[in-house]
Structure 1
């Protein structure tokens, strides 16, 4: 018959051993505390990215992954602006984390859009340029958007009107005119990007803009401006004397 000491040893052997918390849990708690205190101001990009990745990948140390992603894409902005499939294909990421990153970009765009929608474009021109750059400057393909203005030049709608290749994007003039009439717009602003980075208008850009201006004028709608967005800046047809 086992002695009392033997029974106690058996109980000790059978008792579950509490697992130590992974080493990165304390690090995450400190990051969250810093974010709470500062709102994120002053924290480097890799720490903000690390906090975000930790929400999508809770059971892994994501600090090395955050630094690796920034090294590959160059900047936080480049990372969240990359195509979803390109982000998802990165080693260490999956669908959940990739969608989390793209959600951040969409939230940022909506925040910027809130600064310009339902406001006169003249008084919010710099905010409008910030929004257009954030939406289009890092796109890998040309994309065209049309901004619709009412008679007081208040921005009432923003619509995408086609994605193309690295150096051209289709624009259907009749569709732009139709949508302008649907919105009861008095003027429109055409916006598209140059993935090459150089915002200088091409000959095709100039010819298409003149055709659009003529078609809009026929139904009493003005072409307020055509903005070309590139990573190196932007070009305004109005400022260049092309409208």
Structure 2
């Protein structure tokens, strides 16, 4: 037996297919998405409530699982689904970049890292390992922290670069909710990492700091003379 919301849901899906995403308001797109996690309840009101609570689609997708579950009607499965959508979008944006993955400028590295940090609420550090022609060999998270601090293990960075057989690396970390400007601690940590890698004949090409849709290169900013 079909649920009594079936007709409305099918009409909404058809409207989406005919009008495209640009033809539907945010709450309706979110309503359709919620169908997958909530099969037998009206999701229109919930979509409105989520947008009112978090301010925008961006706010909904970037909200913590715990915060999402504080909205009446949002269970664990729904919250995880919303976070999965953001993760998939991040992969989509990353995969849509230059397929050759030649990141031979600070600008290219920064653009590559923007979707990696999309929606992150805690600071994380990534290591990018390149071959001699700046083709990306590996990009991996090597450390995490709190909303405004992260621990960087210089030895781990060196070990991962050696394992990747890379003599050319870059690091990147984020400032969630902040600005893409390096702190004194960021600059000091970069210098220490540079020295550790230099002793192993590994070049630290740059340190990228990301905040939202903005990023700063320590190399291009002349904030780290050794780079």
The farther-off stretch of 206-215 and 128-137 is 128-137
Q: Contact 1:80–1:104 at 8 Å: present in 2 too? A: yes
CA distance in 2, matches of 1:118, 1:32: 37
Rounded to whole Å, the distance in 1 between the matches of 2:181 and 2:32 is 39
Deviation at 1:139, TM superposition (A): 2.6
CA RMSD in angstroms comes to: 2.4
Q: Structure 2 length as normaliser, TM-score?
A: 0.87
**Mapped partners of 1:61, 1:117: distance in 2:** 41
Matched, 1:75 2:56: yes
2:131–2:168 Cα contact (<8 Å) kept: yes
Indicate how the Cα distance of structure 1 residues 45 and 131 shifts in structure 2: closer, same or farther if over 3 A, else same. Answer: farther
Following superposition, the deviation at residue 132 of structure 1 comes to 2.5
Secondary structure of 1:135's partner?
coil
Q: Contact 2:106–2:206 at 8 Å: present in 1 too?
A: no
Paired residue for 1:158, among 139, 159, 163? 139
Residue 27 (structure 1) aligned with residue 8 (structure 2): yes
Structure 1: tracts of 5 or more residues without a match:
1-18
Residues 17-75 of structure 1: per-residue CA shift (max 9 Å, x gap):
xx9963x4333222211222344233222222111101111211111111111121122
User: Does the aligned pair in 2 maintain the 1:199–1:230 contact within 8 Å?
Assistant: yes
Count of residue correspondences: 223
Higher RCO (C-alpha 8 Å, min separation 6):
2
Please say which structure displays the higher CA radius of gyration: 1
Residue 114 of structure 2 aligns to a residue whose secondary structure is: helix
Runs of 4+ with deviation above 6 angstroms: none
Give the corresponding residue for 2:193: 212
Moved more, 29-38 or 201-210: 29-38
Q: Equivalent residue of 2:207, what SS?
A: strand
**TM-score, with structure 1 as normaliser:** 0.82
Output the CA distance in 1 between the equivalents of 2:186 and 2:174: 11
